[in-house]
């Protein structure tokens, strides 16, 4: 391999040469398409003429042009569509349907999130497009999947967070005046998008052996159940139905938010050694020797008494003072940053998680970057989310 070939190989992204037709809208499907674009795929976003993706209108806030005036594109749209191209097609018309078939003939992946059976009347369903391109990987994203008693229902992240159990374990307990609470971002949409990428890549890998594509069937409710993780196991293995515990952890103590003299901080003790170090910093080394606190299992059983003792001491000094002292002895801890503080954090900046890109209407805009990094390689440039029909 020549030096130039080595340089070209290093600069080429892993999915370069893969073409994706993104017929999805809102978040789960577009998130999947965005991740594929980040990895080098050519992603063509199909949008309704004059209207486009629903999220172009989910404002305020809206993107401002170079003169400071609101454009027609809401900020929401920019979270899930970087690196794509936009093509306006009316798939309810024969011309639009034929154009999709022409694109599919040379594409590798199609992503859609229409209701089950919704594309069949346009002959744009998997079976119809499989006849056009047997190697096509076709990913359908719905609320409940292609099968089952709920398959025909529409599904949105908020309702799936409720139905999938996430809200039953999020929020303060009833005893503290709490109520079931959704996560602050649409996590079931995002996780479904990420799982979709995994399924798509697996199907592309298998295609190398078989020459044939697959129909990837992704459901928000399935993904919501899957990401219950240890809480699912607490029930399935331990026969304990988890409830809402606010910021506390069901299996680890102390692992929660504590108030300081000027705000709050997170302490996330994961083992007995860290707990002993915490007690040393707090000036209460004897706590780590008491039988009711010596092990994590004992601390879980003595959660309320122990956390009240810790809170009394933690409220005497500022967050910054505690963080400095705890970090010095390797006790996991951290501040509760606001979103503006996140994108000013030196670690976030050092990891290139904030990118500046050129937008044809607004000029330079800032975007959150892909978190996927490859050692020894710089993050490649990414294009701004497209204007409608770009």
The residue written with tokens 């010095």 in the block is 328
Residues of the chain with pLDDT under 50: 1-10
DSSP state letter for 114 = P
- At 277 the pLDDT is 98
Structural contact between residues 298 and 355, judged by C-beta atoms closer than 8 angstroms: no
- At 253 the pLDDT is 97
- At 265 the pLDDT is 97
Tens digit of each residue's pLDDT (9 = 90 or more) over 345-390: 999 999 999 999 999 999 999 999 999 999 999 887 889 999 999 8
- At 2 the pLDDT is 44
Exposure string for 247-274, b = 16+ CB within 10 A, e = fewer: ebbbebbbbbebebeeeebbbebeeeeb
The residue written with tokens 């967070």 in the block is 161
The number of beta carbons lying within 10 Å of the beta carbon of residue 298 is 15
End-to-end distance of the chain based on CA atoms, in angstroms? 38
- At 4 the pLDDT is 46
**In terms of Cα–Cα distance, which of 184, 268, 188, 279 is closest to 226?**
188
Structural contact between residues 216 and 137, judged by C-beta atoms closer than 8 angstroms: yes
- Long-range contacts made by residues 65-74, C-beta under 8 angstroms, separation at least 24? 65/361, 65/362, 66/361, 66/362, 66/363, 71/361, 71/362, 72/388, 73/385, 73/387, 73/388
* Domains parsed from the chain with CATH numbers: 3-227 (3.40.50.10540), 255-336 (3.30.1540.10)
- At 11 the pLDDT is 63
> Catalytic one among 189, 217, 272, 340?
189
Tens digit of each residue's pLDDT (9 = 90 or more) over 109-132: 999 999 999 999 999 999 999 999
Q: Is 189 a catalytic residue?
A: yes
- At 378 the pLDDT is 87
Tens digit of each residue's pLDDT (9 = 90 or more) over 294-339: 999 999 999 999 999 999 999 999 999 999 999 999 999 999 999 9
- At 9 the pLDDT is 44
DSSP state letter for 262 = S
Calpha distance 105→187 (Å, rounded): 33
Q: Alpha helices of 315-382 — where are they, by DSSP H? A: 319-328, 339-342, 346-350
Q: State the burial class of residue 100 (Cβ atoms within 10 Å of its Cβ: 0-12, 13-18, 19+).
A: buried
Contacts of 229 (CB under 8 A, 6+ apart): none
DSSP string across 329-345: TT--EEE---HHHHTT-
Calpha distance 5→7 (Å, rounded): 5
């Amino acid at each position: 391999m020549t030096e130039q070939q080595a340089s070209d190989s290093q600069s080429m992204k892993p999915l370069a040469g893969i073409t994706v037709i993104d017929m999805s809208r809102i978040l789960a499907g577009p998130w999947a398409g965005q991740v594929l674009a980040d990895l080098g795929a050519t992603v063509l976003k199909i949008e309704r003429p004059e209207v486009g993706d629903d999220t172009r209108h989910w404002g305020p806030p809206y993107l401002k042009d170079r003169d400071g005036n609101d454009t027609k594109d809401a900020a929401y749209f920019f979270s899930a569509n970087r690196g794509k191209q936009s093509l306006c097609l009316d798939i309810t018309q024969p011309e639009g349907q034929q154009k999709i078939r022409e694109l599919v003939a040379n594409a590798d992946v199609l992503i859609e999130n229409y209701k089950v059976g919704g594309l069949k009347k346009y002959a744009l369903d998997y079976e119809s497009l499989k006849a056009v391109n047997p190697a096509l990987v076709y990913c359908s994203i719905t609320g409940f999947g292609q099968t089952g008693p709920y398959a025909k229902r529409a599904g949105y992240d908020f309702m799936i967070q409720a139905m999938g159990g996430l809200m039953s374990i999020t929020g303060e307990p009833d005893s503290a005046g709490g109520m079931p609470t959704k996560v602050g971002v649409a996590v079931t949409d995002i996780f479904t998008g990420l799982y979709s990428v995994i399924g798509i890549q697996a199907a592309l890998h298998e295609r190398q052996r078989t020459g044939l594509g697959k129909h990837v069937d992704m459901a928000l409710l399935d993904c919501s159940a899957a990401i219950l993780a240890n809480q699912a196991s607490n029930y399935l293995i331990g026969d304990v139905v988890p409830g809402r515990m606010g910021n506390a952890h069901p299996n680890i103590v102390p692992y929660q938010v504590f108030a300081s003299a000027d705000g709050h901080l997170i302490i996330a003790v994961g083992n007995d050694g860290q707990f002993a170090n915490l007690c040393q910093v707090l000036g209460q080394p004897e706590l780590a020797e008491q039988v009711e606190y010596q092990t994590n299992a004992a601390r879980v059983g003595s959660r309320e008494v122990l956390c009240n003792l810790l809170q009394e001491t933690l409220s005497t000094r500022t967050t910054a003072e505690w963080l400095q002292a705890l970090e010095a002895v390797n006790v996991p801890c951290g501040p509760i940053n606001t979103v503006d503080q996140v994108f000013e954090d030196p670690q976030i900046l050092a990891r290139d998680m904030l990118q500046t890109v050129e937008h044809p209407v607004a000029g330079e805009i800032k975007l959150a970057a892909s978190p996927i990094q490859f050692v020894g390689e710089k993050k490649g440039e990414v294009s701004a989310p497209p204007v409608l029909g770009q």
